[in-house]
Amino acid sequence: MKILQLCNKPPKPAIDGGCIAMNNITQGLISEGHQVKILTIETQKHPALFEKMSAEYIANTQIEAVYIDTSINLIDAFSALVTSDSYNVSRFFSPDFDRKLIEVLTKDNYDIIHLESLFMTPYIATIRRYTKSPVVLRSHNLEYIIWERLADVSKNKAKKAYLKLLSRQLKKYETGIINSVDGIAAISNEDARKYLGLKCFKPIVNIPFGIDIENYPKESENIEHPSLFHIGAMDWTPNSEGIEWFLKEVWPIVRKSYPNLKFHLAGRKMPDDLMNNAPENVIVYGEVKSATAFMNSKSIMVVPLLTAGGMRVKIIEAMALGKAVISTRIGAEGIDCRKGENILIANSPEEFSQAISQLIENQQLFTSIGINARKLVEQHYDNRLLTRDLLNFYHSLRPA
């Protein structure tokens, strides 16, 4: 098959969970012998760095990028509030990208048009005008849920009201657009159920985030134990707010019991105040050269997400490396994990500190959690098997 993959940011270099998820779809399809053409948006936040892409990748994907200024424009944002439009989505529409899309669609025929995320749905009308190929939405999460949860935890009344409005606008948009595609590849069963709750009557399949397990060798030596770590882009609000909460509410409790314990914090766009004024025994790295090497050198991952949606890529990667993970219920959402077997769940400062203590004091628990986590990934998140499920879904949508 020939697949046109429309991306809201370049999949390569794979600098965050969204990029990794998109790239794994691309590589999975190519490895199964199918042709993939990537047309991507590039932004100031996510530029198309062709110099960091291999010649083989560029040749295999025929990747092209169109720049869109997605920075917040106060006039447009205010106008969207007045008109009830979803500014979060509409700022990803560009006449330049639309013209390039028309050029691509008229130049070649594709069996499937694959949209990466809700942010590519403004182009559905153009796609329908120039091709009869099935359109599949690859949903990384339900966007409105993220903003709804951000509103729920906000203590500023004005901010809470604004976030509630944004979430309502997004929900209205998502509810209206989901039946405009031919099928949805949800990232979890939980998200699939939520789509059904929004009265989606189009076919839905669960295609979770997958990895090539051989790319995640488990390190058995040179691990700092005990040690805590977190890795994630800090310009993503759920990450930054989660870490702020952890350092304020959880870390002081943990420090009383384990004064020598270190917390290693890595990720792009690390705030200057953390880089320059980190709490005692918090080691701040910013962006690291190799996320895998960073995770492999530490022992206990903490994921203190209070707001989010979809599925956390970094948890799957840490599990593949045999790491013990402590996450909030929201952070672990969408992952087919079992509390106490392959992950520990903690939703309050007291629960987090207790879980950390358990993994430090109980070596058997620490070891079994890591072993079972690796098994979970091997059995349920193998990219080769998930790619075949996606291809079967593609075939089911095509005319007989």
For the chain, 400 residues long, give each residue's pLDDT as a single digit of tens: 999 999 999 999 988 889 999 999 999 999 999 999 999 999 999 999 999 999 999 999 999 999 999 886 544 444 444 444 455 688 889 999 999 999 999 999 999 999 999 999 999 999 999 999 999 999 988 888 888 888 888 888 888 888 888 888 889 989 999 999 999 999 999 999 999 999 999 999 999 999 999 999 887 778 899 999 999 999 888 999 999 999 999 999 999 999 999 999 999 999 999 999 999 999 999 999 999 999 999 999 999 999 877 789 999 999 999 999 999 999 999 899 999 999 999 999 999 999 999 999 999 999 999 999 999 999 999 999 999 999 999 999 998 7
What does the alpha-carbon distance between residue 183 and residue 202 come to, in Å, rounded to a whole number?
6
Say whether 132 sits in a helix, a strand or coil: coil
What does the alpha-carbon distance between residue 177 and residue 119 come to, in Å, rounded to a whole number?
11
Write down the pLDDT at residue 126. 97
Burial label, 144 (beta-carbon count in 10 A; 0-12, 13-18, 19+): buried
Dihedral sign, Cα of residue 57, residue 60, residue 62, residue 63 = negative
Is pTM beyond 0.75? Reply is yes
What does the alpha-carbon distance between residue 288 and residue 291 come to, in Å, rounded to a whole number?
6
Say whether 178 sits in a helix, a strand or coil: helix
CATH 3.40.50.2000 fits 214-380, yes or no: yes
Measured from the Cβ of residue 169, the count of other Cβ atoms closer than 10 Å reads 22
Write down the pLDDT at residue 304. 97
Q: Among 235, 89, 82, which Cα is nearest to 171's? A: 89
Say whether 327 sits in a helix, a strand or coil: strand
2-143+171-210+382-397: which CATH number, 3.40.50.720, 3.40.50.2000, 2.30.30.90, 1.10.3720.10?
3.40.50.2000
Measured from the Cβ of residue 2, the count of other Cβ atoms closer than 10 Å reads 13
What is the DSSP code string of 43-111? Answer: -SSS---GGGS-HHHHHHHT-EEEE---S--HHHHHHHHHHT--HHHHTT--HHHHHHHHHHHHHS--S
From-to residues of CATH 3.40.50.2000 in the chain: 2-143+171-210+382-397, 214-380
